[in-house]
Amino acid sequence: MGRPREFDVDEALETAMELFWRKGYEGTSLTDLTEGMGITKPSLYGVFGNKEALFLKALERYERTKMSFFHEALKEPKARVTAEKILRGFADAQTADKDPSGCMGINSALACSEAAADIQKCLIENRHRDEHELGKRFERAAQEGDLPPGHEPFDLARYIMTISQGTAIQAASGADRAALYRVIDMALQFWPEPAAEGS
Amino acid sequence: MGRPREFDVDEALETAMELFWRKGYEGTSLTDLTEGMGITKPSLYGVFGNKEALFLKALERYERTKMSFFHEALKEPKARVTAEKILRGFADAQTADKDPSGCMGINSALACSEAAADIQKCLIENRHRDEHELGKRFERAAQEGDLPPGHEPFDLARYIMTISQGTAIQAASGADRAALYRVIDMALQFWPEPAAEGS
DNA sequence: ATTTTTTTATACCGATCGGTATAATTCCAT
DNA sequence: ATGGAATTATACCGATCGGTATAAAAAAAT
- Whether residue B179 sits in one domain with residue B93: yes
pLDDT in tens, B7-41: 999 999 999 999 999 999 999 999 999 999 999 99
Residue B181 burial (CB count, 10 A): 16
- Whether residue B153 sits in one domain with residue B76: yes
CATH number at residue B17: 1.10.10.60
Site from B110, B113, B154, B181 to mutate, A interface, most A CB atoms within 10 angstroms: B110
- Whether residue B51 sits in one domain with residue B138: no
In a domain, B4, yes or no: no
Mean pLDDT of A45-66: 98
Alpha-carbon distance A75 to nearest alpha carbon in chain B (angstroms) = 24
Q: Please give the pLDDT value at position B1.
A: 78
Residue that finishes a domain, picked among B23, B41, B61: B61
Nearest one of A88, A145, A24, A35 to B108, comparing CA atoms: A24
In a domain, B199, yes or no: no
Q: What angle in degrees, to the nearest 10, is found between the helix axes of A177-187 and A79-94?
A: 160
pLDDT in tens, B145-199: 999 999 999 999 999 999 999 999 999 999 999 999 999 999 999 999 877 765 5
Phi, psi of A194 (to 5 degrees): -60, 140
In a domain, B194, yes or no: no
In a domain, B129, yes or no: yes
Structure confidence at residue A119 as a pLDDT band (50, 70, 90): very high
Structure confidence at residue A198 as a pLDDT band (50, 70, 90): low
Return d(Cα B99, Cα A111) in angstroms, integer.
14
CA–CA distances in Å: residue A157 to residues A83, A124, A128 = 9, 16, 10
- Whether residue B78 sits in one domain with residue B43: no
Residue that finishes a domain, picked among B42, B61, B80: B61
In a domain, B126, yes or no: yes
pLDDT in tens, A6-22: 999 999 999 999 999 99
- Whether residue A85 sits in one domain with residue A57: no
Mean pLDDT of B126-132: 98
CATH number at residue B161: 1.10.357.10
CA–CA distances in Å: residue A6 to residues A41, A48, A170, B135, B190 = 14, 15, 39, 54, 57
Q: Is B65 left (phi over 0), alpha (psi -120 to 50) or beta?
A: alpha
Burial grade of A41 (CB within 10 A; 0-12, 13-18, 19 or more): exposed
Task: Look at the pTM and tell me if it is higher than 0.75.
Answer: yes
In a domain, B192, yes or no: no
Residue that finishes a domain, picked among B44, B61, B78: B61
- Whether residue B92 sits in one domain with residue B162: yes
pLDDT in tens, B85-122: 999 999 999 999 999 999 999 999 999 999 999 999 99
Q: Please give the pLDDT value at position A2.
A: 83
- Whether residue A79 sits in one domain with residue A175: yes
Mean pLDDT of A125-153: 98
Return d(Cα B13, Cα B10) in angstroms, integer.
5
- Whether residue A152 sits in one domain with residue A72: yes
- Whether residue B152 sits in one domain with residue B96: yes
Domain count, chain A: 2
Tell me the chain A residues in contact with residue B106 when contact means C-beta distances shorter than 8 Å: 110, 169
- Whether residue A124 sits in one domain with residue A39: no
Structure confidence at residue A123 as a pLDDT band (50, 70, 90): very high
Site from B22, B165, B177 to mutate, A interface, most A CB atoms within 10 angstroms: B165
Question: Cβ neighbours of residue B162 under 8 Å, at least 6 residues apart?
Answer: A163, A166, A167, A169, A170, A183
Return d(Cα A59, Cα B28) in angstroms, integer.
24
Alpha-carbon distance A28 to nearest alpha carbon in chain B (angstroms) = 6
Q: Please give the pLDDT value at position B198.
A: 57
Phi, psi of A126 (to 5 degrees): -60, -40
pLDDT in tens, A164-174: 999 999 999 99
Could you tell me if B33 and B20 are in contact, meaning their C-beta atoms sit under 8 angstroms apart?
no
Q: Virtual CA dihedral for B177, B127, A66, A92, nearest 10 degrees?
A: -110
* Domain region containing A28: 9-61
- Whether residue A116 sits in one domain with residue A41: no
- Whether residue B87 sits in one domain with residue B24: no
pLDDT over 70, % of chain B: 98
In a domain, A1, yes or no: no
In a domain, B44, yes or no: yes
pLDDT in tens, A69-92: 999 999 999 999 999 999 999 999
